[in-house]
């Protein structure tokens, strides 16, 4: 017996035996250097990692991995498999393998051979998949089972479910097939106006409540009357004058030139008027110091002339003071007597009676002026009718004119006209005039569909800072 085996079992006796450096013959043997026991705390994560790398833990992991590999490849442990699965008797090549295969047979075998991608994706594990219990469960299984048992008992008594009875009835009395409409039926169908009031599609909605139709969206919202009228009677596309043709007559071209000349002349006169109003006064018209002083003293000189006649102004004042004596104020308010009160009451009653008598007298006199009053009323009505007709005519005259919809006024576009020397003798050399987008935009403004606008002015938010770069400064 060796000196190191005097103890019991296979436990190493000394440190020198463990550090011999020889590997064991078992498949689960581990390097003896890894069998050294490491000291340290085990209640921390660092200790758990160290315990996972201990020789005993590594042996257990290797063993379990070997068992899982055998289960995947062999379907179980090799040590437990029978000999029939591990060995077979070799009796030599078979006769059909010795025969030479033809080209067609090889091609059929190649077609039957699975693809490599399918073999890669194929599950080669011999471990059966875990049973999915939820896939085999049926909702309300107990209830359905009891219901099935109930119908089995009722079927013995001659009763069947309602679905079965309906199916049997359909088999006994099959439904008659409906005749499909032919082409002659389509031709004989009457035509109708989809937008008319007697539309057959709207017949179910006749005599229904208005609130019901509005809430069920069967009746549209009534458009205001102002939306049914055009804002202007100007046509959408106006025909240009005959002088704007590519080959106009002499008279038409001259008339168009005259109209363009008048427009330009009015524009020039307006510009000259503005210049005259904004121009500085000349030397003759400029105000001097003397004229300015005279203008400032105009009202003062008239008042000083009136003050120079003291006799005329003081005479009435002195006479007025003598004619109007100062009324002395009563020291104490005296109480009215009964007789004074009766007299005042009688005077008030007399004034009221006289006013009523005068009113009745005037009404009586107006009876004789009935013809004159009728003439005045007729004259007033005629005047109102004349004004109404005048307003109607003015509205008709201004219907074609653009209204003031914003802060800017409508400005008519320039007349597109070519001079006599610019007219071309063929369509190939003709110079195009105008812009269709600008023409449509101006048409919208003229027809009161949009307000006149002007292009927004660009205003810089910050000052432009000029910086001289260093490279440019070095060149200078």
Inform me whether the pLDDT recorded for 131 exceeds 90: no
> For the residues of 73-121, what is the DSSP string, one character each?
HTSS-GGGS-HHHH--------HHHHSPP-HHHHHHHHHHSPPHHHHHH
CA nearest 128: which of 71, 168, 183? 71
Q: What is the pTM of this model?
A: 0.40
pLDDT band at 444 (very low <50, low <70, confident <90, very high): very high
Range ranked top by mean pLDDT from 36-40, 67-71, 217-221: 67-71
Inform me whether the pLDDT recorded for 212 exceeds 80: no
Decide which of 19 and 160 is more confident.
160
As a whole number, the mean pLDDT across the chain is 79
pLDDT band at 183 (very low <50, low <70, confident <90, very high): low
Q: What is the pLDDT of residue 250?
A: 92
Q: What is the pLDDT of residue 126?
A: 84
CA nearest 230: which of 446, 452, 451? 446
CA nearest 419: which of 429, 411, 431? 431
Q: What is the pLDDT of residue 462?
A: 84
In order of 205, 317, 349, 374, the CA distances from 358 in angstroms are 69, 42, 14, 23
Inform me whether the pLDDT recorded for 9 exceeds 50: no
> Cα–Cα distance between 457 and 407 in angstroms, integer?
16
């Amino acid at each position: 017996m060796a000196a190191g085996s005097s103890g019991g079992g296979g436990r190493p006796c000394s440190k020198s035996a463990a550090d011999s450096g020889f590997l064991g013959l078992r498949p689960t043997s581990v390097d003896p250097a890894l069998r050294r026991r490491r000291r340290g705390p085990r209640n921390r994560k660092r200790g758990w990692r160290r315990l996972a790398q201990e020789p005993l833990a590594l042996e257990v992991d290797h063993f379990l991995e070997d068992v899982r590999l055998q289960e995947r490849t062999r379907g179980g442990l090799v040590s437990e498999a029978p000999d029939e699965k591990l060995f077979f008797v070799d009796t030599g090549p078979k006769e059909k393998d010795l025969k030479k295969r033809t080209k067609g047979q090889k091609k059929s075998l190649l077609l039957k051979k699975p693809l490599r991608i399918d073999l890669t994706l194929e599950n080669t594990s011999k471990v059966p998949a875990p049973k999915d219990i939820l896939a085999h469960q049926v909702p309300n299984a107990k209830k359905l089972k009891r219901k099935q048992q109930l119908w089995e008992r009722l079927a013995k008594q001659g009763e069947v479910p309602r679905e079965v009875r309906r199916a049997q009835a359909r088999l006994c009395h099959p439904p008659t097939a409906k005749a499909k409409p032919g082409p002659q039926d389509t031709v004989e169908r009457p035509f109708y106006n989809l937008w008319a009031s007697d539309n057959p599609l709207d017949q179910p909605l006749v005599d229904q409540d208005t609130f019901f139709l509005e809430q069920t969206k069967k009746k549209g919202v009534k458009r205001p009357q102002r939306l049914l009228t055009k804002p202007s009677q100007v046509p959408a596309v106006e025909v240009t004058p005959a002088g704007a043709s590519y080959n106009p007559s002499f008279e038409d071209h001259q008339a168009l030139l005259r109209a363009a000349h008048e427009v330009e002349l009015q524009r020039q006169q307006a510009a000259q008027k503005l210049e005259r109003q904004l121009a500085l006064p000349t030397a003759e018209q400029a105000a001097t110091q003397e004229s300015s002083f005279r203008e400032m003293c105009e009202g003062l000189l008239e008042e000083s002339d009136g003050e120079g006649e003291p006799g005329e102004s003081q005479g009435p004042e002195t006479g007025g003071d003598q004619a109007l004596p100062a009324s002395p104020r009563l020291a104490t308010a005296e109480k009215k007597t009964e007789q004074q009160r009766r007299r005042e009451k009688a005077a008030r009653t007399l004034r009221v009676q006289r006013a009523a008598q005068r009113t009745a007298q005037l009404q009586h006199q107006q009876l004789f002026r009935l013809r004159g009053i009728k003439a005045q009323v007729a004259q007033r009505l005629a005047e109102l009718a004349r004004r109404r007709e005048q307003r109607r005519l003015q509205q008709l005259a201004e219907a074609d004119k653009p209204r003031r919809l914003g802060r800017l006024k409508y400005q008519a576009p320039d007349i597109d006209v070519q001079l006599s020397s610019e007219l071309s003798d063929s369509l190939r050399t003709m110079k195009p005039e105008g812009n269709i987008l600008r023409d449509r935009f101006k048409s919208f403004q003229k027809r009161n569909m949009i307000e006149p606008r002007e292009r927004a002015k660009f205003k810089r938010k910050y000052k432009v800072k000029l910086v001289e770069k260093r490279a440019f400064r070095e060149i200078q």
